[in-house]
Structure 1
Amino acid sequence: MTELTLGNPSLKPGSETLFVAHRAWQLRPGLTLAALFVLLLLVAALQPGWLISGDPLDANARQAFRAPDSVHWLGTDENGRDILVRLVHAVRPSLLLGLAATAIGLLIGTVFGLLAGLGPRWLDGAVMRLVDVLLAFPDLLLALVVITFFGQGLFNTIIAVGIASVPRYARLVRAQTLVVRNAGYVEAATTLGLRRRAVIARHVLPNAIKPVLILATIGIGGNIIAGAALSFLGFGAPPPVPEWGGMLAIGRNYLGNAWWLVAWPALAITLTVVSITAIGRELLRRNEGKRP
């Protein structure tokens, strides 16, 4: 039997994987760069010392407002602290906020979505009216309301951003649940006498939550922006803790004579959100491509 390669007769059997990877790099280099950047962010969040040495809180007034040079590659801030060191150490709270807030919003939203999609009509109407009321408020405004009750700080910011994202996930899970519960395999499982809880756990929930999980990947970037905005307004991690939004808030006061205080945190936020969104969109594209 003749072995076929992926449309290229010059390839030897067993080299298809390398060919696919090479073609993926040729066709989607931006996605590869995004994945590498996210991997770099994960390393910075887990072990920032592997990327750069130095204390992000180490101040030196004599080195204040030093422009980027061979010693301080991204310059120093108003207290003489190295911007690059602070940027790297600020990855952890930013990623933690994005991931944890998304998890909170997804968990609570899934519960509300399942209740609305599987419950009686009156429960569906009550849950969705509550969701509609919450959706009437912008996410940032809703997060500010939550922070008013809980107070500022990184933990409370995570809670606030997570609660603000609940309505979106609740609507998505409800919509997917309404589709899945009428599927043939769910009706077959019910006909065979499988308990309602088992049907929900084995068939409804996994199939309803899968596309929502992919969309939640894109939502991580939005939550990072929301967290940075709250920190910019003074509701995030208190200074001198390195955090991108807080660095922007301080840097705006010296924008006229020290542009680098604002440029590098803004670039870090932009690259992070764009990279995570690119990966999320690729996952969504692949999931839609697998649908019959």
Structure 2
Amino acid sequence: MIQVTPVPAFTDNYIWLISNEAAQQVAIVDPGDAAPVLAALERLQMQPIAILITHHHRDHVGGIEKLLEAFPNLAVYGPVNENIPHLTQPLGDGATVALESLGLTFSVMELPGHTVGHIVYYGEGSLFCGDTLFANGCGRVFGSTLTDLYHSLQRIASLPAETQVYCTHEYTVDNIGFAKWVEPDNTTLDTRMEECWELLDAGHPTVPFELGREFDTNPFLRTHIPEVIAKAEEIAGRETHTPEDVFAVLRIWKDTEYD
């Protein structure tokens, strides 16, 4: 059975360690900083076997070199369409990552939007999605397009509702704040905010989260909901014609007015 351990990094990043109940081995997801990973490996007495990268941003790849200095034989998986130093296993849409010593297998989805070549890893009831989908939010667009990001989120939305989503930032409370701008009368957001503060006050992350809950609270997955459409049209000062149009209005609004 899959086990996932969060390793906090920088101010709000999470690096994920994937293991199972039987093996003292781990795969490392998006190590932006080597130091906390090395400390966690020593504390847990774990041996790394691979690094899984979702995209090229420094806070996701910055620790690769030092990890390879400590563990020279690590395989480094990552997106074929991005320039990532030390990559040994370039991956595109439909590829498979078999971590045989862990007994775990993941399929790769190429989901442009946050970056042009962003990939995610899906398997074992879990999605490691980098900066594409966040709890109650989604990533910004860097070098790609809003259209790409919208369609990438729709692909994620088609996964089973019980999927556990492992994003890489602690943005949940902030994202709920924006969602309340969009849907001030959505009481489910209030409940979720309370749950998040209970977790944070107890020293726990607010992620992972169950994908199905996002359909009740994440405005970027609710662009077909009348209240969300109405808010987008109020902000844009015009009619919107498609859910993709609503999405674009909301993402631009968040970029310019909220963040």
Taking structure 1 as the reference length, what is the TM-score of the superposition?
Answer: 0.23
Q: Which one has a larger percent helix, Structure 1 or Structure 2? A: 1
Q: Which one has a larger percent strand, Structure 1 or Structure 2? A: 2
Structure number with higher relative contact order (C-alpha < 8 Å, ≥ 6 residues apart):
1
Taking structure 2 as the reference length, what is the TM-score of the superposition?
Answer: 0.25
Is the radius of gyration larger for structure 1 or structure 2? 1
